[in-house]
C-alpha cells in the first residue's frame, strides 16, 4: 500500500483541510459543469444561467455559514470528553453532547434551507428593479426556481461534513466528487439538451440537474459516515424538542459567520449586477472568469476551516506556538496554491476560458474574458488571504470581527471603488473588478491586523474552547 508523505510540519493542517477541499469541490463541480453546459447553448443562456448561479452561490454561502460552527462545537465536546476519559476516548456525557449538536444542526439546516429557497426565488423578481436585461431575467427566474430546493440537502451535507471534521475523521470524498460530476453532466445533457429522450428544458433543466445531484451527494456522504464504526454511534438526525437550546447556540455562533460569508459573497453579487448593466456580453465574460476564481477559492475555504479547528484545539491547551505555526502555514499554503493557479491562467488562458465558452464565442465576450482573467489572478490572492484570516479568528473564538471587517473593506471601500472605476472613469467591466480587488485587499489587511492583536492576548483566553 502506498502511503502519502506529507510535507514536514504541514501534515496536521493538510490532513484536516484537504478532505474539506474535496467536498467543497464536489459542490463547485456542480455549478462548474452547469456553466460549461450553458456555454454550449447561447450567450443569453450563459448570461442568465451565470446570473442565477451567482445568486445561488450567494445564498448558499450564507446558509453554510449558519452551520459552520458545528465543527467547533463538536470538537469542543469531543475534546472535553477525551480529557475526562483519556486520549481518543469519549465518555457518555460527550457522546450525548455530540449527538445533540448534530440533531440540532439538522434542525437549523432544514429551517434555514427552506427560508433560503424562498429568498432565492424572490431574488429573481427583485432584480427587475436593477436594470437587468428582460430576456436574461426571463430565463434566469425558472433556473433559480429549479436550483432553490437543492439548498436543503446541500446544508444537510455541510452539517455532516462539520460533524466529521470536528471529530477529526473527515474521510475522503474523492469518489463522490467524481461520481457527482459525471451524474451532473448526464443530467445536464438530459434536462438541458434533451439527451436520452428527456424533456429539453434549456437553462432551467441545468438547474434541476444540480438539485437532483445535491440530494444524491448528501445521501452518499451519509452512507460513508454510517459505515464508520467510530462516527456512526454519534450520528443522530432525529430532531427532539430538547435540542432547541442547542439549535439556538448553533445559530448564535453561526449567524455572525453567515453574515461574514454573506458580505463576502455579496460584493461579488453586486459586481455581477453592475456587470449586467453593461450588457449580456459583459455578464457572460464575468460569469466565466468568476467561476474560474471560485473553483480555486475552495482551496482557501478548506485551509480556513481546517486551521480554525486546529487553532481551537491549540487554544484549549494554551499552546500559542501551535496557533502561530498553524496561521503561518495556512497563509503560506494559500499563497502557493494561488500562484500555481495564476501561472496556469497565464500559460494557457485560451484553454482555460474555452472550458466555459461556446465553440465560437463572440470576439467581444472573448476579449473581455481575457482581460478579466488578469484581474482574477490578483483577486485570488486577496480574497484567499481574507478568507483564511476569518478562519484563524474563528479558531480564537472571534466570529464577529470578520463581519465588521467585511463591512468596512467591501461596502465602504470596495463598492465605491467599483462605481468610481466602472462608471465615473468609464472602465466598465475591468473597473468593477478593480473595485473587487480593492475590497478584498482592504479586508485582508484589517483581518490580519485583528488576528495579530487577538494572538497577543492568547494567554487570557482560557474559556475560548467551550465558546468556540
| pLDDT tens per residue across span 19-36 | 778 777 776 777 777 777
pLDDT, residue 455, reads: 85
Mean pLDDT for each consecutive 10-residue tract of the chain (468 residues)? 50 84 74 75 75 82 86 76 68 84 91 94 78 72 90 91 80 70 87 84 84 89 87 82 79 85 79 83 83 86 88 75 90 93 89 74 81 90 92 84 88 93 89 93 93 78 40
At residue 419, the pLDDT reads: 93
Structure confidence at residue 266 (pLDDT):
77
User: Of 174, 218, 167, 210, nearest to 191 (Cα)?
Assistant: 210
For residue 227, give the 3-state DSSP assignment: coil
Give Cα separations from 30 to 91, 142, 323 (angstroms): 40, 18, 35
Q: What is the pLDDT of residue 462?
A: 43
> How many C-alpha atoms does 70 have within 13 Å on its Cβ side?
31
- Which has the closest alpha carbon to 56: 105, 124, 137? 124
Residues in the chain: 468
The pLDDT assigned to 189 comes to: 87
Q: Which of 366, 203, 361, 368 is nearest to 275 (CA)?
A: 368
| Share in percent of the chain as helix, strand, coil (round to 5) | 85, 0, 15
- Let me know: does 280 contact 43? Beta carbons within 8 Å: yes
Q: What is the pLDDT of residue 361?
A: 67
Residue 262's pLDDT is what? Answer: 78
pLDDT digits (tens, 9 = 90+) for 82-107: 667 666 677 788 888 888 889 999 99
The answer to pTM > 0.95 is no
> How far apart are the C-alpha atoms of 452 and 2, rounded to whole Å?
40
Structure confidence at residue 370 (pLDDT) = 87
The confidence score (pLDDT) of residue 153 equals 94
CA distance from start to end of the chain: 38
Amino acid at each position: 500500500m502506498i502511503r502519502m508523505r506529507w510535507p514536514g510540519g504541514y501534515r496536521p493542517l493538510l490532513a484536516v483541510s484537504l478532505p474539506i477541499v474535496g467536498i467543497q469541490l464536489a459542490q463547485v463541480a456542480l455549478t462548474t459543469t452547469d456553466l460549461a453546459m450553458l456555454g454550449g447553448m447561447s450567450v443569453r443562456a450563459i448570461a442568465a444561467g451565470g446570473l442565477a448561479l451567482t445568486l445561488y452561490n450567494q445564498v448558499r454561502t450564507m446558509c453554510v455559514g449558519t452551520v459552520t460552527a458545528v465543527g467547533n462545537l463538536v470538537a469542543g465536546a469531543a475534546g472535553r470528553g477525551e480529557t475526562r476519559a483519556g486520549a481518543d476516548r469519549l465518555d457518555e456525557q460527550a457522546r450525548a453532547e455530540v449527538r445533540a449538536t448534530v440533531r440540532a444542526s439538522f434542525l437549523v439546516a432544514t429551517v434555514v434551507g427552506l427560508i433560503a429557497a424562498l429568498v432565492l426565488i424572490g431574488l429573481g423578481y427583485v432584480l427587475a428593479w436593477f436594470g437587468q436585461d428582460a430576456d436574461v431575467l426571463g430565463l434566469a427566474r425558472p433556473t433559480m426556481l429549479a436550483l432553490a430546493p437543492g439548498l436543503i440537502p446541500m446544508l444537510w451535507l455541510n452539517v455532516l461534513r462539520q460533524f466529521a471534521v470536528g471529530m477529526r475523521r473527515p474521510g475522503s470524498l474523492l469518489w463522490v466528487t467524481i461520481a457527482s460530476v459525471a451524474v451532473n453532466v448526464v443530467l445536464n445533457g438530459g434536462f438541458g439538451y434533451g439527451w436520452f429522450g428527456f424533456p429539453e428544458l434549456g437553462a432551467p433543466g441545468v438547474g434541476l440537474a444540480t438539485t437532483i445531484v445535491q440530494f444524491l451527494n448528501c445521501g452518499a456522504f451519509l452512507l460513508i459516515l454510517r459505515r464508520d464504526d467510530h462516527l456512526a454511534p454519534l450520528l443522530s438526525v432525529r430532531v427532539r424538542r430538547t435540542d432547541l437550546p442547542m439549535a439556538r447556540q448553533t445559530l448564535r455562533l453561526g449567524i455572525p459567520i453567515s453574515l461574514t460569508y454573506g458580505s463576502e459573497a455579496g460584493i461579488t453579487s453586486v459586481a455581477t449586477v453592475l456587470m449586467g448593466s453593461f450588457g449580456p456580453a459583459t455578464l457572460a465574460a464575468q460569469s466565466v472568469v468568476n467561476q474560474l476564481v471560485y473553483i480555486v477559492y475552495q482551496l482557501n475555504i478548506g485551509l480556513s476551516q481546517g486551521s480554525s479547528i486546529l487553532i481551537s484545539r491549540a487554544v484549549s491547551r494554551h499552546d500559542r506556538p501551535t496557533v502561530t505555526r498553524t496561521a503561518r502555514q495556512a497563509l503560506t499554503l494559500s499563497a502557493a496554491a494561488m500562484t500555481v493557479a495564476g501561472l496556469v491562467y497565464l500559460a494557457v488562458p485560451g484553454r482555460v476560458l474555452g472550458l466555459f465558452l461556446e465553440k465560437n464565442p463572440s470576439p467581444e465576450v472573448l476579449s473581455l474574458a481575457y482581460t478579466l482573467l488578469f484581474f482574477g489572478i490578483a483577486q485570488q490572492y486577496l480574497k484567499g488571504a481574507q478568507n483564511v484570516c476569518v478562519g484563524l479568528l474563528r479558531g480564537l473564538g472571534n466570529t464577529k470581527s470578520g463581519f465588521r471587517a467585511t463591512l468596512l473593506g467591501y461596502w465602504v471601500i470596495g463598492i465605491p471603488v467599483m462605481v468610481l472605476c466602472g462608471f465615473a472613469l468609464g472602465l466598465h467591466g475591468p473597473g468593477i473588478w478593480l473595485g473587487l480587488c480593492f475590497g478584498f485587499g482592504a479586508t485582508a489587511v484589517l483581518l490580519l491586523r485583528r488576528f495579530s492583536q487577538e494572538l497577543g492576548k492568547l494567554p487570557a483566553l482560557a474559556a475560548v474552547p467551550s465558546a468556540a
